[in-house]
């Protein structure tokens, strides 16, 4: 029971943080629960897709194999299904009426997936695994969700750039997730410093994106200025 609590604690903490950063119009609890559930359900297709893609891992030499596992098996599979869950859940929903809503729902979908994944890892790995994942893997999934939701939220409101922003909502999380996993999968001790630096980068970039959109409300938006600002985003 203690390991179960440990595995879910970072999920609840991050979920609460995102909920309270939604300043102007909080999302309905039922929708947030649906988002968590949708993220958890994505584990099922992801497992089968990853099992299929993993068959080809042995075809590549060591570091190419690590890259394939990181970017294709893990990052592509997981972020694709999270994106699909997010799209089906909110793209046409009347609740999706602020840019920050993209971040809220994307993070909750990511946390639903992370909750299931974390339980499996922590129950098998124990206390040390639970503590390390609480400050690395679970926040990383949330930040991939922040990145996805950031561009997804912009795509909802800027029709001219919508297609490009939706592509970024999928591809940039895949890139970040792939880099994160590649550093781990190489097994090189000297990359520990790079890993720590990358995790810090994820935290900083995620918080910056949260701050950027959490201050934008449908009630105080200067759309002309925001269009000029956000259309320049990479």
Q: Mean pLDDT per segment of 10 residues, for the chain of length 234 residues?
A: 87 95 89 96 96 92 94 97 97 92 96 94 88 91 96 92 95 96 90 91 93 71 47 50
The domain limits of the chain are: 2-230
Q: Quick one: pLDDT at residue 179?
A: 95
Q: Quick one: pLDDT at residue 220?
A: 47
Q: Quick one: pLDDT at residue 178?
A: 96
DSSP calls for the chain: -HHHHHHHHHHHHHHHHHHHH--SSPPPHHHHHHHHHHHHHTHHHHHHHHHHHHTTGGGS-HHHHHHIIIIIIIIIHHHHHHHHHHHHHHTT-TT--SHHHHHHHHHHHHHHHHHHHHHHHHHHH-HHHHHHHHHTHHHHHHHHHHHHHHHHHHHHH-GGGHHHHHHHHHHHHHHHHHHHHHHHHH--GGGHHHHHHHHHHHHHHHHHHHHHHHT--TTS--HHHHHHHHTT--
Q: Quick one: pLDDT at residue 217?
A: 61
pTM of the model as a whole: 0.89
Q: Quick one: pLDDT at residue 197?
A: 93
């Amino acid at each position: 029971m203690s390991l179960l609590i440990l595995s879910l604690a970072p999920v609840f903490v991050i979920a609460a943080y995102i909920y309270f950063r939604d300043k102007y119009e909080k999302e309905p609890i039922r929708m947030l629960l649906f988002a968590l559930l949708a993220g958890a359900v994505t584990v099922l297709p992801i497992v089968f897709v990853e099992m299929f893609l993993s068959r080809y891992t042995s075809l590549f030499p060591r570091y190419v194999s690590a890259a394939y596992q990181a970017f294709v098996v893990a990052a592509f599979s997981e972020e694709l299904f999270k994106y699909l869950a997010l799209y089906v859940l909110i793209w046409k929903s009347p609740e999706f009426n602020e840019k920050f809503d993209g971040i809220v729902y994307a993070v909750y979908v990511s946390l639903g997936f992370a909750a299931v994944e974390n339980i499996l890892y922590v129950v098998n790995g124990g206390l040390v695994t639970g503590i390390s994942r609480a400050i690395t893997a679970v926040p990383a999934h949330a930040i991939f969700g922040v990145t996805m939701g950031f561009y997804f939220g912009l795509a909802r409101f800027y029709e001219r750039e919508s297609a490009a922003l939706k592509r970024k909502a999928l591809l940039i999380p895949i890139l970040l997730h792939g880099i994160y996993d590649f550093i781990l999968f190489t097994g090189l001790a000297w990359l520990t410093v790079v890993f720590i630096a990358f995790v810090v980068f994820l935290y900083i970039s995620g918080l910056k994106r949260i701050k950027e959109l959490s201050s934008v409300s449908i009630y105080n938006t200067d759309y002309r200025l925001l269009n000029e600002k956000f259309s320049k985003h990479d």
